[in-house]
Structure 1
Amino acid sequence: MPGTGIADLIAFVRARLADTERQADLFHELTCTDLAVTGAQACPGVGPLSCRCPAPARLTDTAEALRRSVDACEQRIRRVSLQDPGGLLDALGAEQVLRALALPFELHPGWCPRWYPGTD
C-alpha cells in the first residue's frame, strides 16, 4: 500500500512531474513537420527532434512550473510553528495545494485515496 503522509505525497508529485518531463519528447502536434516528413518519433531520454512544435516544450515548462509550486508548498509546510496559528493555516493550505497538484495522477498505481483534496 502506498504511503499516506505528506512526505509521500510530495515524493509522489515530484516523481510524476519527472515522468512528465522524461516523456515530453513523445508528444508532438499533429502538424509537426518532423513527424510528417520523416515519420520519426523521439525516443525517451534521447532528446527532442529538431521540430518546432510547441508540445514538448510546453509539457516541460508546465512540469517545471508545477515543481516550483511543490517546492514552495514544501517550504510552507516545513516552516510551520505550533505557536503561530497563521503558519498552521498556511501549512494546511499548502497541503491542499499539493493534493490538488497530485489529482491529475490519481490513476497511477502509486496514488493513495487519502490524497484527495479536502480529505483527512
Structure 2
Amino acid sequence: MIRKILGVIIGYAIFVVSSLLLFKISGQKPHSDAKNLFIIFTAIYGALFSVIAGYFTQFTSQTKNLNVNHILAIIIAGFAAFSLLESDGNHWTQILGIVIFAPISILGGMLSKSRMHKKH
C-alpha cells in the first residue's frame, strides 16, 4: 500500500514540478492569455511530462493493474477542475490538464507495465 501511495505522490510531483518550471522559466502566467505557439508547446511539454509521471507512478507502485494511474489521472483532472472553477482569467491550462494531461498519464503506466513484462 505504501508503494502505491508513494507512486502517486512521485507521479504527481513530477507533473507539478515540471509545470511550475515551465511557467517560471518562460515568464508566462498560467491563467493569462498566451500565444497559440506557447499553448501548443505547453500541450506537448505537458503531455511528455504526464507520460513520465504515469510511468514513474506505475514503476514505483509495481501493481498488476493501472489503478494507481487512474488515481493519478483523477488527481490531475480534479485539481485542474477545481482551479477552473475557482480562478479568474484564461483557463487554457486547466482545460489542457483535464483533456490531455490527466488521460495521457495513464499511457505512462501502460508503457511502464509493458517494460516490466518484457523483463520477466
Report the TM-score when normalising by structure 1: 0.33
More helix by share: 2
Please identify the structure whose Cα radius of gyration is greater.
1
Q: TM-score, normalised by structure 2?
A: 0.33
